[in-house]
Amino acid sequence: MRQSLARCARSSMDRASRRDADAKKRGGRIETGGGRPQGQNKGFFFEPTVISGLPDEAMALAQENFGPVAAITPFSDKDEVFRFIWDNRKILNLREGAYSEVLSVRPCIRIGIDGFVLRETVAEYYQVARLTPDELKRRGIKLPKDYIEELKRNRRLADEDGSRDDGDSEATTPLYGGGVLVFDEYGRLKYHVSNDVFGAERQTRRLQYLWESGLLEAGKAMSRLRSARLSTIHRLRAIDARRFPAEGW
C-alpha cells in the first residue's frame, strides 16, 4: 500500500514538473511556486503553482492537472468571452435562434467583505430576435390586441399603396434579452445573471408595457422600439403613463 501511494505521489509530481516546464517553453509566466519547496529535497513535494499567459494548447490548460498547478486565463476581449458563452450556451441558457453579441468586457477591482482586494472581469452580452406574430404565438408570447390590429392595418395600407413586395412576410417584432457574467481573477465564472430572450411570461409583460407606453412602434415590415432616455422611461413608470404622445413633454 505504501509503495502504491508513493508511485501515485511520484507520478503526480512528475506531471506537475512537466506542466511547469511546458508552460515556460510556451512563454507562460510563473506567478508563484514552480518547484520543490525550499528545504524539501526529499519526498514528493511540489509548491502550489500559478501560471499565467498560456496559449490554449498548453498542457496546464488542455489536460487535467492532478497536482497543485493552476492556470490563470483571464478574459481580455469580446471574442474570448463570446467563445466561452457559445461553447457553454446550453448551460448558460443562451438561445441559438437569436443574434448574440458581447457588448463589453471590463476588468474590475473591489474590496470584499473580508477586506481583501478582489480582481474580477465583468462581461455584458445581449441577444435579439425578430419574430412574426405566428412565431411569437408558437413560443407562448402574447402580443397586445391593439398592437396586432395596428400591424394588420399597416399591412393593408402597404398592400394598397404597393409598398409591400409579394415576397414580404408578416411584420416582425423585436425581442431582447441578455446577461452579465462575472469571472474571478483565474477566469472562472462566479456569477451569471440573465434575461431569457424567449421567456414567454417576461416578454409578454414587456411588450404590453412598451406598447401601452408608446415605446413600441408597429411598422409595415418591421416594428421597432422608439428611442427614449432612461430617465424618461423611469418617469413614465412613476406616473403610470399609457400611450403618451409621440413628442413627449
pLDDT band at 85 (very low <50, low <70, confident <90, very high): very high
pLDDT at 210 over 50: yes
Question: 156: helix, coil or strand?
Answer: helix
Residues whose CB is less than 8 angstroms from the CB of residue 188 and which lie 6 or more positions away in sequence, other chains included = none
Mean pLDDT computed over 183-212: 91
Q: Domains of the chain: which residue ranges?
A: 2-72, 78-239
For residues 219 and 81, the model is more confident at: 81
Encoded amino acid at 190, one letter: K
Nearest to 101 by CA among 82, 86, 84, 83: 82
Q: Write down the pLDDT at residue 47.
A: 78
Mean pLDDT computed over 92-118: 86
pLDDT at 102 over 60: yes
Q: Write down the pLDDT at residue 112.
A: 75
User: How much of the chain exceeds pLDDT 70, in percent?
Assistant: 80
Mean pLDDT computed over 103-117: 81
Q: 57-81: buried (b, 16+ CB within 10 Å) or exposed (e) per residue?
A: ebbbbeeebebebbbbbbbeebebb
Q: Write down the pLDDT at residue 213.
A: 83
Assigned superfamily of 2-72 = Aldehyde Dehydrogenase; Chain A, domain 2 (3.40.309.10)
pLDDT at 58 over 50: yes
Mean pLDDT computed over 125-148: 94
Q: Which of 74-78, 196-200, 211-215 has the highest mean pLDDT?
A: 196-200
User: How much of the chain exceeds pLDDT 90, in percent?
Assistant: 32
Q: Write down the pLDDT at residue 5.
A: 34
Q: Write down the pLDDT at residue 163.
A: 61
Lowest mean pLDDT among 15-24, 28-37, 231-240: 231-240
Q: Where are the alpha helices (DSSP H) in the chain?
A: 2-25, 59-62, 78-87, 133-138, 145-161, 200-212, 230-239
99 phi, psi to nearest 5 deg: -70, 135
Q: Write down the pLDDT at residue 219.
A: 82
Q: What pairs with residue 217 in β-bridges?
A: 224
Residues whose CB is less than 8 angstroms from the CB of residue 82 and which lie 6 or more positions away in sequence, other chains included = 100, 101, 102, 125
Q: Which of 8-12, 57-61, 241-245 has the highest mean pLDDT?
A: 57-61
pLDDT at 176 over 60: yes
